[in-house]
């Protein structure tokens, strides 16, 4: 009887420890026997744990997707507001040898993770390819024509590709992937976000909120003051120029600077205070260069100015380094000030080493205005918001995670695009230097910027000139929603919002800059995913566990009531 009770208890417990499993089809390329598209099965198993992500590939070669899986899991949990802190994620890719690795499994990984956690089953007649980026944006990947042909060979009904990649040029011809799909009897659909893909794979509708963001009044007040301060410096420098200029006729450079001054004033009138500050800063640099040019600084005067500004930088740097950082706003204020001080110090060194006084003064102008910009941003410490445990370990983990994400993107773009990535490489190398110096906050900042710059290249490649404005508007809407979700969590990503505002002001002026600052905004709008670890109460149980437990009870009752009496009856009959 004791043995029977033990068996019953084990049977009761087995369903409670059963892991949740599902799989999804993704599109990949193989170079085995020539390049062609194949269907890959991506499996995911959830087990109780600590939000670790594991990847097993069999027998995959050239794979570099561990980082992509990790980021996909983070994005899925963040975009759908799910607490994943008590689960481990075990991804497995089963495919033929020769698969080309990379981040193109990111979108599929995120869809699968979100569906499994939310309890939705995945459709088996759909496949997807695309990276997953901040804000849940699905990014461009290569070899789409090969992949669609591979999906058609497996008789799938639908293929999801990144938005903006429908048409591309190859060998001087334009290929329309939707038309290619029609010719192969398969539907090809562009999707922009994780939400879009999730709807197709689960036959559900994801509702996005259209509520506006309510800004922290202190942020508005402070940013307004920053805009006024930088634009007031503009007036001061203009007065200095007037006193030095003998002919009273503005130079062409001064005229160009005044155009930015006007943009700054206009932005301020429309409550675009960050945009106003940015335009006035740019004008200040141009006007200050004109001033130094007319002032005809000697090398000794340049060196003395370098010394004075360096002293100011060190004083502010020391003060900021002692500030307490426990909100995302404080973290981003620290990043903004430190970036400006570091850049100013680096440029001052160039001015000091420049033998030509005129060139040195020209360099000095930017360094000085960059310092004053840092002074202005130091006013943002102390905004209200959710408190985080932003300790050195979490900062180090966030630094290494973001570097890995950026490095993965860098190598992927480098493998199939002939683009100049030298600036991004320098940014990444600087992030590594900050990591080695244990300055993990600036490591995170520089790695996030590098990743955004690579994502701009990825996103811009597949977008035709006619659809650029549409794509910018899409990016801005995704940033707005990402910021709104942060606001609902009592998190205010200050840099993210500021870049979002600036991108809006640029969208009709400079398309590339608008896209770049949209990407910056996305990267800095969800940094809380590296620090948020909501603990699940020990007494709480999710729906799947309840279902497993109840199932176990019924199995136990069935064994106890039906099977054991039947066995006892059988034994009595034999006796």
Q: pLDDT digits over 500-532, tens only?
A: 999 999 998 888 899 999 999 989 998 888 886
Residue 425 has a pLDDT of 92
pTM (predicted TM-score): 0.74
Under 8 Å between Cβ of 551 and 101: no
CA-to-CA separations, 569 to 280, 403, 496, 566, in angstroms, rounded: 93, 68, 73, 5
**% pLDDT > 90, the chain:** 35
CATH fold of the domain at 12-202: Ribosomal Protein S5; domain 2 (3.30.230)
Stretches where the chain sits below pLDDT 70 are 1-19, 31-34, 58-66, 95-102, 246-248, 416, 459-464, 466, 532-575
Residue 544 has a pLDDT of 45
Residue found under tokens 């020990």: 538
d(CA 560, CA 325): 59
Residue 63 has a pLDDT of 43
What sections of 378-439 are H helices per DSSP? 392-416, 422-436
- Spans of all domains in the chain: 12-202, 219-295, 297-383, 392-530, 543-575
Q: Count of residues for the chain?
A: 575
Find, among 458, 482, 494, 499, the residue nearest to 130 by Cα. 458
Angle at the Cα of 12 (from 88 to 17), degrees rounded to 5?
5
Residue 101 has a pLDDT of 59
Give 121-178 as a DSSP string: PPPSSEEE--EE-GGGBEEP-S-HHHHHHHHHHTT-SEEEEETT-SEEEETTEEEEHH
């Amino acid at each position: 009887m004791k043995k029977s009770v033990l068996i019953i208890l084990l049977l009761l417990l087995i369903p409670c420890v059963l892991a949740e499993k599902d799989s999804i089809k993704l599109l990949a390329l193989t170079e085995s026997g020539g390049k062609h598209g194949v269907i890959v099965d991506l499996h995911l198993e959830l087990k109780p744990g600590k939000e670790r992500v594991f990847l097993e590939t069999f027998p995959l070669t050239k794979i570099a997707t561990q980082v992509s899986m990790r980021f996909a899991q983070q994005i899925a949990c963040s975009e759908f507001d799910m607490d994943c802190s008590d689960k481990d994620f075990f991804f497995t890719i089963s495919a033929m040898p020769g698969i080309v690795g990379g981040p193109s499994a990111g979108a599929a990984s995120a869809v699968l993770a979100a569906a499994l956690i939310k309890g939705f089953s995945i459709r088996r007649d759909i496949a997807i390819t695309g990276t997953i980026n901040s804000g849940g944006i699905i990014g461009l990947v290569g070899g789409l024509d090969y992949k669609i042909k591979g999906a058609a060979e497996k008789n799938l009904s639908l293929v999801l590709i990144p938005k903006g990649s429908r048409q591309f040029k190859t060998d001087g011809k334009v290929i329309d992937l939707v038309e290619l799909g029609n010719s192969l009897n398969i539907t090809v659909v562009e999707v922009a976000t994780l939400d879009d893909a999730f709807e197709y794979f689960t036959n559900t509708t994801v509702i996005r909120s259209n509520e506006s963001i309510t800004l922290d009044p202190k942020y508005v007040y402070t940013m307004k003051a920053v805009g006024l301060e930088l634009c007031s410096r503009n007036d001061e420098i203009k007065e200095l120029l007037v006193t030095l200029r003998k002919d009273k006729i503005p130079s062409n450079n001064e005229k160009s600077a005044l155009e930015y001054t006007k943009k700054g004033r206009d932005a301020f009138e429309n409550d675009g205070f960050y945009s106003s500050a940015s335009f006035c800063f740019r004008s200040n640099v141009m006007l200050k260069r004109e001033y130094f040019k007319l002032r005809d600084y000697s090398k000794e005067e340049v060196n003395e100015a370098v010394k004075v500004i360096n002293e100011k930088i060190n004083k502010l740097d020391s003060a900021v380094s002692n500030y307490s950082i426990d909100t995302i706003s404080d973290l981003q204020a620290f990043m903004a000030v430190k970036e400006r001080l570091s850049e100013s110090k680096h440029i001052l060194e160039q001015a000091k080493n420049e033998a030509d006084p005129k060139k040195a003064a020209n360099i000095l102008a930017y360094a000085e205005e960059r310092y004053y910009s840092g002074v202005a941003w130091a006013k943002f410490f102390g905004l209200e918001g959710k408190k985080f445990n932003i300790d050195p370990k979490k900062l180090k983990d966030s630094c290494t995670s973001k570097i890995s994400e950026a490095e993965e993107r860098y190598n992927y773009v480098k493998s199939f695009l002939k683009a100049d990535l030298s600036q991004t490489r320098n940014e990444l190398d600087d992030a590594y230097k900050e990591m080695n110096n244990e300055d993990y906050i600036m490591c995170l900042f520089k790695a996030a910027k590098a990743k955004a710059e690579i994502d701009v290249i990825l996103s811009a490649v597949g977008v035709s000139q006619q659809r650029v404005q549409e794509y910018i508007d899409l990016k801005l809407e995704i940033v707005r929603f990402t910021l709104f979700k942060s606001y609902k969590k009592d998190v205010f990503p200050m840099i993210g919002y500021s870049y979002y505002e600036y991108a809006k002001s640029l969208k009709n002026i400079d398309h590339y800059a608008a896209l770049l600052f949209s990407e910056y905004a996305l990267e800095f709008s969800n940094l809380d995913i590296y620090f948020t670890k909501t603990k699940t109460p020990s007494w709480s149980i999710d729906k799947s566990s309840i279902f497993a437990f109840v199932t176990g009870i019924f199995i136990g009752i069935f064994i106890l009531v039906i099977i054991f009496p039947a066995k006892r009856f059988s034994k009595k009959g034999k006796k």
